Structure 1
Amino acid sequence: MTRQKRRKIIRARRTATGIALVAAISFIAGMTDAIGLTMSGDFVSFMTGNTTRAALSLQSGDYTHAATLFAAIFAFVAGNAGGIVIAHRSYRRIFNVLCAVGALLGLAALLQQTDMSIIQFCIVVFAMGMINAAVEHIEGLPIGLTYVTGALSRFGRGIGRFMLGERKIDWTIQIVPWLGMITGAVCGAIVARSYPTVALAAVSAAVFAVAAATGFMPRSLRRRYNQNVTIRRVN
């Protein structure tokens, strides 16, 4: 086997593994978003929608709801930041990020029977922000896990370039997050309606299951799906 052929096989395996991870995590994100929307009436990963709803609440004078949505937006941003810190200070990046997300969703599930709905909501939003740090790219192509507007935009632009004669098809993987999210959202809606008291616990268990599955990933792949962080120290 030539070196070039070997590299193609290795790259194909990396891509396939990355696509499987993105599909699984997007499925979880869609499931969580459907459950969160059913329970709270607001989005737990769609911050564009929450921003618009916050503006409408301000306009109508519903300042409590607006404050809740702004708190959710802050929690989402903080979750993304926290996920990056965990990912880049961990030997098993994906595993540790997913375990942290699973633990947060488990905590939110425990708060379901208490009078802490806003705190529970923000914890779930924080977890959805954090999960984005699990996989940031596949072979250099940016991937969104909890929001699919960007993925659909990149997919549409890829179709446009293909129509103009460009024959690269790597943009087709951008449809994976959307497929994962829509199937996850359908499952989440069913679980939320049929088993509302254990819905978040079910998602938490799913996250831990995916985290356990990443333990079988070859060591060489564990850092392939995250951007490198360059830390400059000023003396």
Structure 2
Amino acid sequence: MAGSLTVRQGALAGHLTATAGFVDGLAFIHLGGYFVSFMSGNSTRAGADLATGDLLGWVKAMGLVLFFVVGVVASSLAVHMRASRSGRTPPYGPRSTAVWVSLILLLSAAVCASVPVLQIAVAPAIAASMGAVNGTFTRGGEVTVGLTYMTGTLVKMGQHLAHAVTGGNRTIWLRYLVLWCAIAVGAIAGAVAYQVLGLGALWIAVLLLLVPAVVLSLRGPRAAWSSQT
């Protein structure tokens, strides 16, 4: 959970969350009100579309949900296979493999966006990328920090804020607030970038993901933010 992250891990989580917000902000406008990282929103949208007879909208929303899950599966399998090859169980910490999988998928989306005949694959690739990045912080195969969805983060913030009011730790709630702010600010930046650059703004997101992918890989298993896969 975000409350247990080190300062460097928290900075990484904030960076990845802001990147997810950036991608979701630009994709939300491009897709006319559908999400590539917030699947609760797409699930609600799918239900509303079906109820109002918009079958195309239902297919779009459910397709994004499907590819998001595909990205989660791909990331999880990649992390598992790398751990199996190394012959060890990685300790808790950021997994570079998950970030690289997300980066490759997002790069694929950016490339497809520049080729008119391939643009139909852009949204599925972005959704898969956002699913994959959620595998960055895991323990025992379970996600410990959700990077692209903030409902649980806001609940945790509220709980820790209540603890602070009743005499508990007075600062942990701020870590959850920072994550929420990261995705909110990222979404604003992504929406603005899309209005200026269109889908070309995806290349900015690719660069934003490339930085942590490279840094995580270079720091190695003795990094201060612990070993990664």
Q: Name the TM-score class by shorter chain.
A: 0.7 to 0.9
Q: 1:94–1:135: 8 Å Cα contact kept in structure 2? A: yes
Amino acid paired to 2:200: V
Q: 2:48 aligns with which of 48, 56, 72?
A: 56
Shift of 1:225: 7.9
Gaps of at least 5 residues in structure 2 are 84-89
Residue equivalent to 2:168: 166
Distance 1:62 1:211 in 2: 40
1:30 equivalent in structure 2: 21
Long gaps (5+) in structure 1:
1-13, 229-235
Deviations 1:24-78 (A, max 9, x none): 1001101100111121121101111111111111011111110121111111122
Letter in 2 for 1:86: A
- Residue 46 (structure 1) aligned with residue 47 (structure 2): no
Residue-by-residue CA offset, 1:91-135 (whole Å, 9 max, x unaligned)? 697322222211211111122242444432111101100000012
Q: Match of 1:121?
A: 123
In structure 2, the residue matched to 1:79 is 71
Question: Who wins on radius of gyration, i.e. which is larger?
Answer: 1
1:109 aligns with 2:97: no
Task: Tell me how far apart the structure 2 counterparts of residues 87 and 24 of structure 1 sit (CA, whole Å).
Answer: 21
CA RMSD of aligned residues (A): 2.8
2:86 maps to: none
SS at match of 1:167: coil
**How many residue pairs were aligned?**
213
- Name the CA distance, whole Å, in 1 between partners of 2:76 and 2:45: 28
Change (3 A) 1:76 1:225: farther
Determine which of 179, 186, 189 is the counterpart of 1:187. 189
The residue aligned with 2:82 is: 90
Amino acid at match of 2:76: I
Measure, in 1, the Cα distance between the counterparts of 2:118 and 2:164: 50
State the shift of 1:166 in Å. 2.3
Q: CA deviation at 1:180?
A: 1.5
- Residue 16 in structure 1 maps to residue 1 in structure 2: no
Q: 2:227 & 2:64 partners in 1: Cα distance?
A: 27
For residues 144-163 of structure 1, the aligned pairs below 5 Å read: 144-163=146-165
